[in-house]
Amino acid sequence: MRKLLLAALAVCALAGVVASADGAPAKASREYVVLYEHGASGKAARAAIADAGGRVVSENAAIGVATVRSSDSSFAGDVARSSAIVGATTNRVIGKAPRDAAIVKRDRVEKDLGQAAALVLLGTAFLMACAPSLVALLFQRGAFGPADTSATAAVIRVYSFGLPAQAMIGVMVRPYFCVRPVVRRADTPRAEGDRITWPDWYPVGAMLLGLAVTVAVGVGATPRFGALGLAAGNAAGITTTAALLMRGLMLRGVALRLPRVLGGQARLLGAALAAAALGWLAARTAGGPLPAALLGGTTVLLVFAALGALFGAAEVRGPVLGLLARARRPRPVPSTAAEGKPHHGR
């Protein structure tokens, strides 16, 4: 053990982590690791440390090592002159233990879910508020009249209810296939112990159940609501699939903190609902499709950003505060001396 400690001290000294010998005074206290001489008493070592201007923070008398704090830049050299001390080096962090892989996966999925929800809910709020003006701007001409615009906008609004779930499926389906290679080439031999298990088929089952919900809702609602029933079936089916995939992530070793995830989604959803309502009111005051889309879209963006930051949604609050800080940052003013310099030209 002592040989290892001596080697560590030698390596630290060669690496330049021993106190510098340039004589520059230290402005703050530093922490050192001090190695006692074999056979030296702890009392003599502590006295040498005190004489060199150090204060013992902790001590392991069994192996003769102490953690010391000192504001004297020459402490390491001074204490090493004592016959009771082998040497001293600054106590620095030379590495960081890796985080648990499960926590890394969980945090990555939760972050991706929040960011995807923020982007898609903003777009969904815009479609909810400005669907009529967008359809009129793009399609209302010739045989496509105002009634067609109104009907198409209603279908778009109902269909948009499923967009957040669609975005979340794109995020949640990845962990099912990244734990181990469940997909392989036909000519690649299967590794020993590598076999397909039922969790590998869970996304397929979730999609099939979502498709069943889509068919059931579509068949039940279409005779009465027409195209709106088809759009509602699509939204219901894709939302069912998203809910099943979120629950099934537990089977792939991603222990999502569901209260935290659902709480973040709820904050974003609240901001999106308010933004859609105010954007719809703003679009109604405009005179034509293009002004309505611009005014409604701007209102949706501003309200979503403000309420998302106010509700504490990290995916919105961070960018908003960053933009505000950049806007408040004073711009450099050119000096009058530089302005007064004559420009040399040919």
CATH classification of the domain holding 50: 3.30.70
Domain of 282 in residue numbering reads as 101-182+197-203+257-328
**pLDDT tens by residue, 233-260:** 999 999 999 999 888 887 766 778 888 8
Considering the domain boundaries, does residue 345 fall inside one? no
**Are both 118 and 10 inside the same structural domain?**
no
Do 152 and 34 belong together in one domain? no
CA distances from 339 to 84, 176, 332, 336, 343 (A): 66, 63, 14, 5, 9
Token duo for residue 73: 């830049």
Q: Is residue 144 part of a domain?
A: yes
For the chain, first and last CA: distance in Å?
75
pLDDT at 298: 94
Q: Which of 67, 90, 113 is the last residue of a domain?
A: 90
Contacts of 98 (CB under 8 A, 6+ apart): none
Same domain, 81 and 176: no
**7 and 55 inside one domain:** yes
Q: Domain end: 25, 55, 90, which one?
A: 90
Give me 274's structure tokens. Answer: 């308010």
265/316 same-domain check: yes
Q: Are residues 157 and 137 in the same domain?
A: yes
Select from 90, 116, 133 the last residue of a domain.
90
In a domain, 231, yes or no: no
pLDDT band at 23 (very low <50, low <70, confident <90, very high): very low
Same domain, 271 and 168: yes
Q: Is residue 41 part of a domain?
A: yes
Position 208, amino acid: L
Query: pLDDT value at position 172?
Result: 85
Decide if 50 is inside a domain. Answer: yes
Q: What is the pLDDT of residue 295?
A: 93
Which residues face 87 on adjacent strands? 35
Same domain (yes/no): 152, 262: yes
Q: Is 296 within the bounds of a domain?
A: yes
Average pLDDT, the chain: 80
Q: What is the pLDDT of residue 286?
A: 85
Residue 91's nearest CA partner among 12, 10, 31 is 31
The two tokens of residue 121 are: 């809910």
Q: Is there a domain that residue 340 lies in?
A: no
> Does 158 reside within a domain?
yes
Q: What is the mean pLDDT of residues 301-328?
A: 88
- The answer to which of 193-202, 239-248, 323-332 has the lowest mean pLDDT is 193-202
For residue 125, name the pLDDT band (cuts at 50, 70, 90): very high
CA distances, 320 to each of 116, 176, 231, 312 (Å): 17, 33, 34, 11
Tell me the pLDDT band of 282, cut-offs 50, 70 and 90.
very high
Per mean pLDDT, which range of 1-10, 73-82, 195-204, 299-308 is the poorest?
Answer: 1-10
DSSP 3-state assignment of 252? Answer: helix
Per the structure, how many domains does the chain have? 2
Q: Do 175 and 261 fall into the same domain?
A: yes
Q: Assess whether 115 and 85 both reside in one domain.
A: no
43: Cβ–Cβ under 8 A, 6 or more apart, which residues? none
pLDDT at position 22 over 50 = no
Same domain, 133 and 15: no
Residue 3 confidence (pLDDT) = 47
Same domain membership, residue 14 and residue 123:
no
Give the Cβ contact number of residue 139 at 10 Å.
12
Say how far apart CA 126 and CA 156 lie, in whole Å. Answer: 11
What average pLDDT does range 142-165 have in this prediction? 90
